[in-house]
Structure 1
Amino acid sequence: MTRDRIQEGAGSGDAWRLGTVASAGRPVTVFEAAGTLYLLDELIAKTGTATPGQTGVRDVIEQWDTWRPILTKLAGNGAGVQSLERDRLDWLPAIPNPGKIVCVGVNYRDHVAEMGSAGVSPERPFAFIKPQNTLLGHRQTLWLPPVTRKVDWEAELAIVIGRKAYQVAAKDAWNVVAGYCPFNDISARDWISQPVPGLGMDWILHKSFDGFGPLGPLITPAEFVPDPQNLAIRLSVNGEVKQDSTTANMIFDVAAIIEYFSSVMTLMPGDIIATGTPAGVGHGRGEYLKDGDNVSLSIECLGELSTEVRSR
């Protein structure tokens, strides 16, 4: 079963990851090395490391080629630095301020089938945009909007762009990836039940409510992910597994997605691309999120993203 392959994180040795938490009311970067969390600023100060500028996650990714060797060196220099208790942290979205969040719809064959379109094979990725207000951190609360009754989950692998990319060929796409992160593309299914004649579904608004994009807890650099097209991905609600698949089932892989999107728009460091969801969404089962639910999304090598659901 794919669930047996789910791991807590990127592993040991010199592996490291980045995320964002709130401290004294402002976002600060946390740095994980060999499973231990530190405040990046404290680690830098303790080791006397010279840095190229601001230490926010997006700032780091915008100068990814400069920061990567610095962070790799820091990963082996945590001795004497106060570690953090992850369960006591106030987690924010791994990147609180991405330039854009571009999403792929209907990108797993089994999900296409469960949504009533078995046999459909799109010729190119189907895209939509989610705004920044949708982002939610690990263990933060998703407040159910009072105007919708069918709020659904979608476990997804998110790509974090690390270099400016325009008209990138698939064979070169891996060079622009900084890392990967769990992402939950929450949707209000009752907002797409009645398409507008001549216009179709409103793909933007039904996915744009506040908190409809949990992201995190940490970004795992691409170098620590052996094969992004062979990662177990699983989502459970209150401990009951709903989605249990692998990224090998994507219709369009990471490279093809980057090639296609970069043929239209310039992808910038810190941009996020959500790559679609496998079968097992609530809408296919007639099940939806309700007050008191706990959603857990795990991706092999990348960790676990938890979301508490509450009604206003």
Structure 2
Amino acid sequence: MTLEAPVPGALFRLGTALEGDRDTVVVESGGALRRLSDLLPDIPGDATLVELIGSGWETLLDRIAEALAGGAAAPLPDAADVRWRAPVVHPNKLICIGANYKDHIREMGLSLSSLPAYPYSFIVPPATTLVGTGEQVAVPRMAKRIDWEAEVAVIIGCRARDVAPDEAHGCIAAFAVLNDLSARDWSGPNAPSVGIDWVMTKAYDGFKPMAPFLTPARFVGAPDRLRVRSWVNGQPKQDGTTADMVFDFASIVAHLSRIMTLEPGDVIATGTPAGVGHGRKPPEYLVAGDHVAVEVELLGRVETTLVEDLAVVGAAQEISAPGGARR
């Protein structure tokens, strides 16, 4: 796929490319890609962003800036052909925040008169839900109401436990873009009597596509005023701003750190603005063949195509064999 345009204001960003069968950390600057190990030869070629974030992140960023200024390392010649992974591969935790934009709360038929005292959160498995931009995501065979959610993701930069809100920004290493795909079949009036089943709603393979790059927090001067947008098959769906969040990034990090130890590389998806399919009248849902794009100002863009679940396709082919019998 075509490399996304450079982001104004970001001196560089970092991502994870798949070269053959190996993950490689790359640096994007001005639209050019360079292997981190080419820029900084003392960095092992098999180092991961999760490892790098946890071992002197700010010093690493200073060194990258110095190397780029010195003209070190030639760019990759085939940047348009890169296959992307999620920028952080296999973080320890992927935590999602729900109902965190006022306009989204309203569109879902909920009242702003009794906002929660704490961020509403749940956890999904990062190893199987996180995928890179350009990847195909299968529509689960058991779900019919697949929705899109454009979100800003926070990447944790240090071990954080019981952090005060005024110190929480210092725990954020970077920001990224995430599409929190959701199966709405078990929410609203269809939810079990005990409440929403978040695993059946959010935890399917590939349901958390991420844009290629992490933008270091030092380059994001006003994270509380980022424009967040999405499109389905080229048609605009969401157009909001992080200024509408109920809980800002620091409040979310501080709250979660009171419950669990946050670790370097952990990903926190921070909620979505209005314009999701489930909140429309009539509701709109994704089907196989649909293309979804999510973009956040200064951070980048993730694109995903929905496809049929191969197990469903295979079963249908068996049933449609000559004579109507299974082969």
**Equivalent residues in 2 for 1:58-73 (5 A)?**
58-63=50-55, 64-73=57-66
2:75 to 82, 98, 120: 82
CA contact (8 A) 2:95 2:268 kept: yes
CA contact (8 A) 1:52 1:67 kept: no
Q: Deviations over 1:249-288 (max 9, x none)?
A: 0000001111111111111100011100000001112111
Q: Deviations over 1:194-214 (max 9, x none)?
A: 3333x2111233100000000
CA contact (8 A) 1:8 1:301 kept: no
Equivalent position of 2:32 in the other structure: 36
CA contact (8 A) 2:159 2:261 kept: yes
Q: Deviations over 1:30-78 (max 9, x none)?
A: 1112331112222333xxxx34896311111111144222222223244
Equivalent position of 1:106 in the other structure: 99
Q: CA RMSD in A?
A: 1.8
- Distance in 2, matches of 1:138 and 1:73, equals 29
Shift in Å, 1:136: 1.2
CA contact (8 A) 2:288 2:307 kept: yes
**Code of the aligned partner of 1:76:** A
Can you give the 5+ residue segments of structure 2 that lack an aligned partner in the other structure?
A: 310-327
CA contact (8 A) 2:97 2:269 kept: yes
Secondary structure of the structure 2 residue equivalent to 1:75: helix
**Code of the aligned partner of 2:224:** Q
Of stretches 74-83 and 202-211 in structure 1, the one that deviates more from structure 2 is 74-83
CA contact (8 A) 1:43 1:78 kept: no
The two structures have a TM-score, normalised by structure 2, of 0.87
2:229 pairs with 1:239: no
**Code of the aligned partner of 2:24:** V
**Equivalent residues in 2 for 1:263-282 (5 A)?**
263-282=258-277
Equivalent position of 1:165 in the other structure: 160
CA contact (8 A) 1:161 1:267 kept: yes
**Code of the aligned partner of 1:41:** S
Structure with more relative contact order (C-alpha pairs < 8 Å, separation 6 or more)? 1
Aligned residues with identical type, % of pairs: 40
Secondary structure of the structure 2 residue equivalent to 1:229: helix
Of stretches 187-196 and 232-241 in structure 1, the one that deviates more from structure 2 is 187-196
Shift in Å, 1:140: 0.7
Shift in Å, 1:82: 3.3
- Distance in 2, matches of 1:77 and 1:38, equals 14
**Code of the aligned partner of 1:300:** E
Of stretches 226-235 and 59-68 in structure 1, the one that deviates more from structure 2 is 59-68
Count, aligned residues: 300
**Equivalent residues in 2 for 1:150-299 (5 A)?**
150-192=145-187, 193-197=189-193, 199-285=194-280, 286-299=283-296
Q: Deviations over 1:170-228 (max 9, x none)?
A: 1111111100000111111013353333x211123310000000012100000110111
Secondary structure of the structure 2 residue equivalent to 1:99: coil
Shift in Å, 1:145: 1.1
Equivalent position of 1:57 in the other structure: 49
Equivalent position of 1:3 in the other structure: none
CA contact (8 A) 2:23 2:46 kept: no
Secondary structure of the structure 2 residue equivalent to 1:256: helix
CA contact (8 A) 1:8 1:304 kept: no
- Distance in 1, matches of 2:61 and 2:244, equals 31
- Distance in 1, matches of 2:54 and 2:77, equals 26
- Distance in 2, matches of 1:158 and 1:80, equals 30
Shift in CA distance, 85/232, structure 1 to aligned 2, threshold 3 Å: farther
CA contact (8 A) 1:11 1:35 kept: no
Runs of 4+ in 1 over 3 A off after TM superposition: 7-10, 50-54, 77-80
- Distance in 2, matches of 1:210 and 1:53, equals 28
- Distance in 2, matches of 1:277 and 1:141, equals 22
Q: Deviations over 1:124-171 (max 9, x none)?
A: 100100112111101111111111111110000000001111111111
CA contact (8 A) 2:37 2:44 kept: no
Equivalent position of 2:318 in the other structure: none
